[in-house]
Amino acid sequence: MPVFDHPDFDHHQQVIHGCDAASGLRAIIAIHDTTRGPALGGLRIYPYASEADALTDVLRLSRGMTYKSALADLPLGGGKAVIIADPHRDKTPELLHAMGRLIDSLVGRYITAEDSGSDEADMRVIAEVTEHVSGLGRDGASGDPSPWTALGVFHAMQSAVYHGLGRAESEDQFAGLRIAIQGVGHVGASLARRLHDAGAGLVLADVDRDAAARLAGELDARIVAPEAIVDAEVDVFAPCAMGAALTPEVVRRLKARVVCGAANNQLASPEVADRLRDRGILYTPDYVANAGGVIEIAWQRREAVTAHIARIGTTLDEIFARAAQEGRSPALVADDLARERFETAG
């Protein structure tokens, strides 16, 4: 399988394949860029249909982490790891230990964290064989980054609502604003509670209809079917489920004037950014909005972390202003700004 010629290779510094016959480990670690610091990125455990799919996923996610950490102004590079396995069936301590040894062989160039298919308990098992693990929690507090990611998306939305709807940040900035949230899992539910407390009216959808119904009851929100959430008559659309939520078809249907959510890789293809702009919809670059979790992991100190997460709003103010001035999509401006930061660092 060609790596150098892969369409998502994009100058990765290192891509390693790891195998352990005894535990059944088949893994790939991708290190995109370590100019700003060690490559931090989560460990995804997923039953990929093929090794090619796993390689594509790890390369895209790893590159995304470089951009995310650069724009979050963290002394970190970008990397990611995937294990080709079903997390419900194949995840054993032996598998995680084998993964830990593979991570350890990189002597700190890659630091792992939780991601889809892995959780804090798995990080503890991996930490038995390597020190290059983050997100373990401390002082009895959880290492789950989701509430911090939701806090960051809230700050991002404050900036987006100002630049996209002209509603300046104030105590009642969200009062009466209608917001649709696609996916009310760890991040979506936490974001929904914050927005409800700030006075927004919510429309929720999740393929787990029970989860959506429970949260809607708690927050006095409306529920719609998962396939209908993009048509909701709202001011803001918040993709908080899976990637590629924004397709050309979705862009045609959206009623919202602002898109701002937690999901990674929201644009199904790069040109969707321009389609959003052509329709006058302000798109908040996903990796800028959802950096709260990685900021928390990097800080590991509660006092400083909230101030740093609030800076997501300031970064977006700069991106939105530059995008308006240059007549370009905020997605492209964010990419340029990130590159300026990691290509000139160190």
Give catalytic residue positions.
80
By beta-carbon proximity to ligand NAD, the closer residue of 290 and 329 is 290
By beta-carbon proximity to ligand NAD, the closer residue of 16 and 242 is 242
Phi, psi (rounded to 5 degrees) for 98: -60, -40
> Binding of ligand NAD at residue 223 (CB under 6 A)?
no
Interface pick for ligand NAD out of 211, 213, 224, 310 (rule CB under 6 A):
211
Type of residue numbered 242 = M
- Cβ atoms of 40 and 69 within 8 Å: the answer is yes
Interface pick for ligand NAD out of 130, 264, 284, 315 (rule CB under 6 A):
264
By beta-carbon proximity to ligand NAD, the closer residue of 24 and 243 is 243
By beta-carbon proximity to ligand NAD, the closer residue of 165 and 242 is 242
> Binding of ligand NAD at residue 241 (CB under 6 A)?
yes
Q: How far apart are CA 158 and CA 29, in angstroms?
A: 35
By beta-carbon proximity to ligand NAD, the closer residue of 241 and 319 is 241
- Cβ atoms of 241 and 147 within 8 Å: the answer is no
> Binding of ligand NAD at residue 64 (CB under 6 A)?
no
Token digits of residue 158: 């404050």
- Provide the 8-state DSSP code for 69: H
State in angstroms the smallest separation of the CB of 165 from ligand NAD: 23
User: Which region, judged by CB under 6 A, interacts with ligand NAD, from 6-14, 181-189, 247-255, 325-333?
Assistant: 181-189
H/E stretch holding 84: strand 77-84
Which pairing describes strands 222-223 and 236-239: parallel, antiparallel, or unpaired? unpaired
> Binding of ligand NAD at residue 149 (CB under 6 A)?
yes
- Interacting residues with ligand NAD between 285 and 304 (CB under 6 A): 290, 293
Q: Tokens 């404050």 correspond to what residue? A: 158
Interface pick for ligand NAD out of 145, 164, 285, 313 (rule CB under 6 A):
145
User: Which region, judged by CB under 6 A, interacts with ligand NAD, from 70-78, 203-211, 277-285, 318-326?
Assistant: 203-211
> Binding of ligand NAD at residue 262 (CB under 6 A)?
yes
H/E stretch holding 267: none
Residue 226: C-alpha distances to residues 109, 121, 233 (Å): 40, 31, 15
Which pairing describes strands 14-20 and 25-33: parallel, antiparallel, or unpaired? antiparallel
The mark string for 86-125 relative to ligand NAD (x by CB under 6 A, - otherwise) is ----------------------------------------
Q: Tokens 């719609």 correspond to what residue? A: 224
> Binding of ligand NAD at residue 194 (CB under 6 A)?
no
State in angstroms the smallest separation of the CB of 295 from ligand NAD: 10
What is the side-by-side strand order in the sheet with 25-33? Answer: 14-20, 25-33, 77-84, 39-46, 110-114
Type of residue numbered 113 = A
> Binding of ligand NAD at residue 188 (CB under 6 A)?
yes
Residue 31 CB coordination number (10 Å): 24
By beta-carbon proximity to ligand NAD, the closer residue of 58 and 98 is 58
Interface pick for ligand NAD out of 100, 183, 201, 313 (rule CB under 6 A):
183
- Provide the 8-state DSSP code for 141: B
Q: How far apart are CA 236 and CA 311, in angstroms?
A: 21
Token digits of residue 95: 């598998």
By beta-carbon proximity to ligand NAD, the closer residue of 90 and 144 is 144
Residues that bind ligand NAD (CB under 6 A): 145-146, 149, 182-188, 205-208, 211, 226, 240-243, 262-264, 290, 293
